[in-house]
Every structure is written in structure tokens, then in C-alpha cells.
């Protein structure tokens, strides 16, 4: 019988359910026990006797892939992001990597809009104050008429742009892969340079894949160019943002706030300075938690596994 390593936390949360599903497919599940994901060392300790891998954000390096041979036949990544896998090595070694592209466009876009509304209208600040017995009435800004600058304009980025347009925002985007205007509700989302995203946006939202080339794409230089009235939303990957530089910009009031679903180090430490800002709204890398999207990815991930293992 073929062995399948399960290391993604979404299936681990429902172990009994997916233990049965995997066995019904004719495979033997091997259950990992990651905190959030398997480190390279933990991967090396887990591979070698597996035929398939239902992976999460595990650090699947070239060394891990080589150690998994000759048995490993497929990596079925739960979700969309595959930046933690050495894809060049996987291709060279003949190990297919399959994921679920665009599965979370609606779910993540809705959370991105939540961040925009919560930060711009100071809703989380008001909630915290009420819980302390206060009755504040701070002034916020409507999204209508504001400019949204998207970094990354694939399926998720375009859905965010579409929803933002419905709220009356003007949308510009930076994405080396996309070309030309995209039309939503009779309005064009226009391509822009990264500098223009920094200088011309009221809200800057990250929805791009993480690669070594765009590590810290939002860093000190970028943050120096933005307006002090602008704020940042990140629903992509933590290392896209230089977190230390962002904290400094917040302290110096060079940025109006942030909505962050992801961080450079996860989970966020209990003493992280981001926790001390009232104008920062935080989430636990959970923007994909829409029920319909999650169920689709469960099914598609198992189908991806079966399509190779047979």
C-alpha cells in the first residue's frame, strides 16, 4: 500500500475525517505533527518511505526532495502558495507539484476589504475603546474616491480590485506578468510602476506570490515614498514586507496604519511590537478561511494526489 505524508494543518485539524478519506482512496496516511509547518530537518526526518505528500507550507528544499527519492511521486500542496517548495529541484528530479490556483480569490479578497474598512474607519480602535468603557467618535475616511494600489494582480488581486471598484475606489496595479487595463464595473484598473504605487495610493495592498526577487518589496525605501495618510494591507506572504521597517514607519507616523494577515515569523510573538499599535489590525494567516473555498481545496488536493498516485 502507498504511504502518504499529511503535514498541512488544515487536514490535521480534521484528522479523523481525512484519515478515513485517505484510506478510502487506498493509501496509508502518515500523520506529521508540525507547529505551523515542517522545518527542513523535520521534512528530512519524515520522507524516504512516502509515495505521496499532502503538504502545507513545509520547507521542501532540494535536500528534502532528494531524500524522498525514489519513492515520492507527487506533492499535493494544500492551498495555492508553493513558495516554500524548491520548484526547480522538483522539476529536475521529476516530482510533480500540484496545488489549487485561484481557490481563495473570494475568501481572501473579502478579508482584504475588511482590513481596508476597519483601518480607514478605525473600527477596531473603536471596538477596543468601548470594551474599556469609553465612547469614542474618531473621524475616518470612506473608501469611495480613494486610490487602491495593488502589488500583484492575479486572481486574488483582481478580485480585490473588483470589490474595491464596487466600493467606489480607483484601482492601479503593479504586476510584471499582467499587461494593460482591467475593467471592473465600467472603470479601468490601470497598470503602474512600483514607485507610482508608493506615491499615488491611499491604500496599498499586497496580493502577489512570494519569490526571492520580491523579498521585502515593501522595505525602507518604499515606505519612505508613501503618503503619511496611506496604509498597508498584506494578505499575501509575510516576507514581502520588511516588518522592522514597517514598525519604525508606524512609530514615526509615516504611515496611517496596516491590516496584516501574514508576518515574517509566524505565529506572531506575544511581545511583537505590532501588537502595540491601535491603528494596526491583525489576523492569523487565516484569510483563506471561507468554508466553500476550504472544502473545495480539501477535495482538489486529494484529487491532485490521486491523479498521480492512481
Determine the Cα–Cα distance for residues 92 and 204; give it in Å rounded to an integer.
37
Phi-psi group of 283: left, alpha or beta (phi > 0 → left; psi -120 to 50 → alpha; rest → beta): beta
What's the pLDDT score for residue 214?
Answer: 96
The catalytically annotated residue of 42, 114, 159, 237 is 237
* Percent residues over pLDDT 90 in the chain: 99
pLDDT digits (tens, 9 = 90+) for 228-255: 999 999 999 999 999 999 999 999 999 9
**Edge-to-edge strand ranges of the sheet holding 170-174:** 182-184, 187-191, 170-174, 147-151, 203-206, 231-234, 257-260, 280-282
In this predicted structure, the answer to whether residue 221 has a pLDDT above a threshold of 90 is: yes
The catalytically annotated residue of 285, 295, 298, 299 is 285
Q: What share of the chain is helix, strand, coil (3-state, %, to 5)?
A: 40, 20, 40
In this predicted structure, the answer to whether residue 24 has a pLDDT above a threshold of 90 is: yes
Q: What is the mean pLDDT of residues 182-189?
A: 95
In this predicted structure, the answer to whether residue 112 has a pLDDT above a threshold of 90 is: yes
What's the pLDDT score for residue 43?
Answer: 98
The catalytically annotated residue of 254, 266, 295, 298 is 266
Q: What domains can you pick out in the chain, each with its CATH number? A: 2-100+291-309 (3.40.50.720), 105-282 (3.40.50.720)
In this predicted structure, the answer to whether residue 70 has a pLDDT above a threshold of 90 is: yes
| Diameter over CA atoms, the chain | 65
pLDDT digits (tens, 9 = 90+) for 116-139: 999 999 999 999 999 999 999 999
Determine the Cα–Cα distance for residues 213 and 200; give it in Å rounded to an integer.
23
Concatenated DSSP letters for 60-115? B-HHHHHHHTTT--EEEESSS--TTB-HHHHHHHT--EE--TTTTHHHHHHHHHHH
Q: What is the mean pLDDT of residues 212-227?
A: 97
In this predicted structure, the answer to whether residue 281 has a pLDDT above a threshold of 90 is: yes
What's the pLDDT score for residue 217?
Answer: 98
* Cβ atoms of 11 and 33 closer than 8 Å: no
Q: What is the mean pLDDT of residues 270-293?
A: 97
What's the pLDDT score for residue 179?
Answer: 84
* Cβ atoms of 266 and 239 closer than 8 Å: no
Match 505590532 to its residue by C-alpha cell.
274
pLDDT digits (tens, 9 = 90+) for 75-105: 999 999 999 999 999 999 999 999 999 999 9
298 is catalytic: no
Instruction: For residue 79, report the phi and psi dihedrals to the nearest 5 degrees.
Output: 105, -160
285 is catalytic: yes
Mean residue pLDDT across the chain: 97
Determine the Cα–Cα distance for residues 152 and 147; give it in Å rounded to an integer.
15
Match 499582467 to its residue by C-alpha cell.
178
Amino acid at each position: 500500500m502507498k504511504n502518504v505524508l499529511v503535514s498541512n494543518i488544515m487536514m490535521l485539524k480534521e484528522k479523523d475525517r481525512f484519515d478515513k478519506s485517505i484510506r478510502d482512496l487506498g493509501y496509508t496516511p502518515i500523520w506529521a505533527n508540525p507547529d505551523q509547518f515542517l522545518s527542513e530537518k523535520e521534512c528530512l526526518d519524515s520522507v524516504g518511505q512516502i509515495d505521496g505528500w499532502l503538504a502545507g507550507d513545509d520547507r521542501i528544499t532540494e535536500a528534502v526532495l532528494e531524500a524522498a527519492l525514489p519513492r515520492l511521486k507527487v506533492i499535493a500542496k494544500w492551498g495555492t502558495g508553493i513558495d516554500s517548495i524548491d520548484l526547480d529541484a522538483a522539476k529536475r528530479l521529476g516530482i510533480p507539484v500540484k496545488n489549487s490556483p485561484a481557490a481563495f480569490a473570494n475568501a481572501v479578497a473579502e478579508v482584504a476589504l475588511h482590513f481596508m474598512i476597519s483601518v480607514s474607519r478605525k473600527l477596531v480602535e473603536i471596538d477596543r475603546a468601548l470594551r474599556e468603557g469609553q465612547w469614542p467618535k474618531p473621524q475616518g475616511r470612506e473608501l469611495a474616491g480613494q486610490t487602491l494600489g495593488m502589488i500583484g494582480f492575479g486572481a486574488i488581486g483582481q478580485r480585490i480590485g473588483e470589490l474595491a471598484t464596487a466600493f467606489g475606489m480607483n484601482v492601479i496595479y503593479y504586476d510584471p506578468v499582467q499587461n494593460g487595463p482591467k475593467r471592473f464595473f465600467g472603470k479601468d484598473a490601470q497598470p503602474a510602476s512600483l514607485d507610482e504605487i508608493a506615491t499615488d495610493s491611499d491604500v496599498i495592498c499586497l496580493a502577489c506570490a512570494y519569490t526571492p526577487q520580491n523579498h521585502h518589496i515593501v522595505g525602507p525605501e518604499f515606505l519612505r515614498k508613501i503618503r503619511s495618510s496611506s496604509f498597508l494591507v498584506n494578505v499575501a506572504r509575510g516576507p514581502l514586507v520588511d516588518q522592522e521597517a514597517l514598525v519604525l514607519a508606524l512609530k514615526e507616523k509615516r504611515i496611517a496604519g496596516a491590516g496584516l494577515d501574514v508576518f515574517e515569523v509566524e505565529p506572531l510573538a506575544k511581545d511583537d511590537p505590532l501588537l502595540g499599535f491601535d491603528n494596526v489590525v491583525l489576523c492569523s494567516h487565516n484569510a483563506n478561511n471561507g468554508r466553500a473555498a476550504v472544502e473545495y481545496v480539501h477535495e482538489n488536493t486529494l484529487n491532485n494526489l490521486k491523479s498521480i498516485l492512481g
